[in-house]
Structure formats: structure tokens, C-alpha cells
Amino acid sequence: MELVFATNNANKIKEVQALIPQHIKLLSLKDIGCYEELPETQNSIEGNARQKADYVTSRYNYDCFADDTGLEVDALKGAPGVYSARYAGAHCSPNDNMEKLLHKLKDIPLRKARFKTVIALNINQGTHMFTGICNGIITRTKKGTNGFGYDPIFRPDGINETFAEMDINLKNKISHRAKAINQLIAFLNTV
């Protein structure tokens, strides 16, 4: 089976390739000749995932899946949420986003947060949605050099390391993306 993973994020592709069974051939956007930026104009994580999957299916005629992920912080009423990748502005860096979030939380003792990943799968002319959530807290300082995005300031519940400090194998067992991907894989095994 061939599936397109509708992302230009090399880090996501690397993480997902480690999770997908070998009998599924994962194609990147470049593999199908898609070099444009996929639209993400919806006001929800679910909407963005579906929009990206629909874009690839309608223009390139491939079965595909797309994900969108957001970091939701309780004290900020779910922010940055759908705006996680551009929290500090349109052309900001991941470090800019972390700095803005740490600044917003500097005087807030309760730092509960969750990473939420939603996957939209377009296959056999139908759409299926899968959601993975990893609860944790936002740390006060950045720790670790692995991972990407907010990983240096997110510590999952029950773990004494941030995502950026932990081994990729552990992250791939407990992360929001791993949980959503595992649901996707279970579904694909029934198709």
C-alpha cells in the first residue's frame, strides 16, 4: 500500500516513518511532485488536518493523510492551539514561539498543557479522523536538544524529562503523534 504523508516537515516524516509498518510505503510530498505550501486556514486543528489531506487528494489523486498539531495550555484558555507554529508571528522560529509562551506563563504556577495531534486520512474516497493527546506541563526553562517545536519546554505526565531530553524510541511510544499514528495504523490494517 502507498500513502502520501502530506507534510513538508522533515522531522515529522522521520518520526512517522519509524512508526509506520514496513508494508506501507510512505511517500512524501516531494515524491509526488508537490512543492507548494499546503493551506492551513481553518480555525481548528481538525479543520487544518482535513484541509491539507483534501488538497493533496483533489490535486494529486493519491490516498493520503495529513496531520495538524497544537499545544494547548490550560492557563491560556487553550492557546497557542491551532496557532502553535506561528504563535510569535508569521515568520517566527520555534525558539521565538517558546520564548513567547514562557513569557506569558512566567507568573503562572499552574502550567498544565497538552499536545494534540489530529490526522485526517483520505482513502477509498472516504475521510477518517484520528486524535492523539499527550498531557503534561510547560517547564520554566528549556531542556534538551532532541525533537522540535515546543519539545524543550513540554514534560509529559509521569516522565521526568522533556520531549527534547528523551530518546526518540520513548517519545514514539507516548507522544500525541504516536497515539494518533497508532490509531491510523490499526485502521489501515482493516482496509
Closest C-alpha among 186, 184, 63, 181 to residue 124: 63
Q: Which residues are annotated as catalytic?
A: 68
- Dump pLDDT digits (tens) for 90-123: 889 999 999 999 999 999 999 999 999 999 999 9
Domains parsed from the chain with CATH numbers: 2-188 (3.90.950.10)
Alpha carbon distance 12, 136 (integer Å):
20
- Dump pLDDT digits (tens) for 49-82: 999 999 999 999 999 999 999 999 999 999 999 9
| Kind of pairing between the strands at 64-73 and 2-5 | parallel
φ, ψ of residue 81 to 5 degrees: the values are 55, -125
The pTM assigned to this predicted structure is 0.90
Alpha carbon distance 135, 157 (integer Å):
6
- Dump pLDDT digits (tens) for 1-49: 889 999 877 777 777 777 777 788 889 999 999 999 899 999 999 999 9
